[in-house]
Amino acid sequence: MKHDDQKNAGIASRMQRRDFIKFAGLGTVALSAGLQGCASLARLGGSRDVRPFTIIALPDTQYYSKAFPHIFTAQTEWIRDNKEALDIFLVIHEGDITDNNAEEEWKNARKSLDVLDGVVPVCLNTGNHDQPGWGAERQLTHFYDFFPRSRYENLPWFGGTWQDGIENAYWKFERDGVPYLVLCLEFGPRDEVIDWANRILDAHPKHRVIFSTHCYMYSDDTRVGEGDKWNPRTYAGADNDGEELWEKMVRRHENIFLVLSGHILNDGKGRLTSTNEHGSPVHQVLANYQMLPDGGEGWLRIITIDPAANQITMKTYSPWLDRFATDEENEFVIENAFRPGFFNV
Ligand SMILES: [Fe+2]
């Protein structure tokens, strides 16, 4: 049932961009007031000071790794160079790191992502293209070689994994006294993976959760479901689609407030706010630019979460082009983003 869904009610279709900041070596870019909130603390619910923070979503990088590695590196260098100015808290890669799962593509991806080593946490998702044959049978040999669990397990933000790889993993963070958990699951997660994830979420009721998986939202502002093109169920070895993930996991947990995904083509953009079983809004967002020239033109999502203002702000920027995409599907504010007291944990 989607009667409780809405397309992000209260969206400010075009953000005011009267504030301009010059980023080091990157030209003049526009910022909303929300992105500058790190300068001031805001009191939340009378009990805690919670500052706004920014996460970056990297949509499908498959063509960059294959043919435009300099664009992938332009993205990561921009994140590195603007970490402090934007108070970037973490990065989430939405999967399809590579196109043909070729060793050379993995080398390129590793080189681009290494720019962020020791700079900002990066939570990786795997996509169907990160397996042989664009989706065959969950073989992630190269992923395990280039991004092995051993690379992550001693990091302070490492939470745990389902098995030996990080394609099903959770990562734990804390900021201003609020615990956060980022959950990343494989392409079209298997039932046993969802069971594991449900147990992890049940064990972390105080953590505020961002969930990401390669395929979840569709370009028509609904979750990927039966009959949708590129549904995981149409790929060998893949199982649950977005609608099934909502029913079996997302809607059941009070603490998931944001879901990020890629994979879907058409215009590669979609968003939907639903209400979970506990009465909290869940904001679900698709971003994928792989169909554009140069493998995606370097577009990435700048997501600013502001608990005190009760807002999530999304902007879309290309370090490669050095400009923002300002149409209402790429730049918007979600008002009333959290139920009262959501961050008072
Ligand atoms: Fe994909």
Tell me, in angstroms, the distance from the centre of ligand 1 to residue 217's CA.
12
Tell me, in angstroms, the distance from the centre of ligand 1 to residue 231's CA.
10
Read off the pTM.
0.89
Tell me, in angstroms, the distance from the centre of ligand 1 to residue 78's CA.
24
Tell me, in angstroms, the distance from the centre of ligand 1 to residue 135's CA.
8
Tell me, in angstroms, the distance from the centre of ligand 1 to residue 171's CA.
23
Tell me, in angstroms, the distance from the centre of ligand 1 to residue 120's CA.
25
Tell me, in angstroms, the distance from the centre of ligand 1 to residue 85's CA.
32
Cβ(272)–Cβ(217) below 8 Å: yes
Tell me, in angstroms, the distance from the centre of ligand 1 to residue 127's CA.
5
Predicted pLDDT at 47: 43
Tell me, in angstroms, the distance from the centre of ligand 1 to residue 232's CA.
9
The Cα–Cα gap between 125 and 214 comes to: 6
Residue from 99, 115, 17, 10 nearest 323 by CA? 17
The Cα–Cα gap between 43 and 57 comes to: 27
304: tokens are: 């600013």
Tell me, in angstroms, the distance from the centre of ligand 1 to residue 213's CA.
10
Q: Where are the domains of the chain?
A: 53-289
Predicted pLDDT at 339: 96
The Cα–Cα gap between 4 and 281 comes to: 10
Tell me, in angstroms, the distance from the centre of ligand 1 to residue 342's CA.
33
CATH superfamily of 53-289: Metallo-dependent phosphatases (3.60.21.10)
Predicted pLDDT at 2: 36
Tell me, in angstroms, the distance from the centre of ligand 1 to residue 137's CA.
14
The Cα–Cα gap between 105 and 67 comes to: 8
Tell me, in angstroms, the distance from the centre of ligand 1 to residue 219's CA.
13
**Sequential pLDDT tens for the chain (345 residues):** 333 444 444 333 333 332 222 233 333 333 433 343 333 344 444 446 899 999 999 999 999 999 999 999 999 999 999 999 999 999 999 999 999 999 999 999 999 999 999 999 999 999 999 998 776 578 898 999 999 999 999 999 999 999 999 999 999 999 999 999 999 999 999 999 999 999 999 999 999 999 999 999 999 999 999 999 999 999 987 899 999 999 999 999 999 999 999 999 999 999 999 999 999 999 999 999 999 999 999 999 999 999 999 999 999 999 999 999 999 999 999 999 999 999 999
First to last CA, the chain: 30
Tell me, in angstroms, the distance from the centre of ligand 1 to residue 128's CA.
5
Predicted pLDDT at 48: 60
Predicted pLDDT at 137: 72
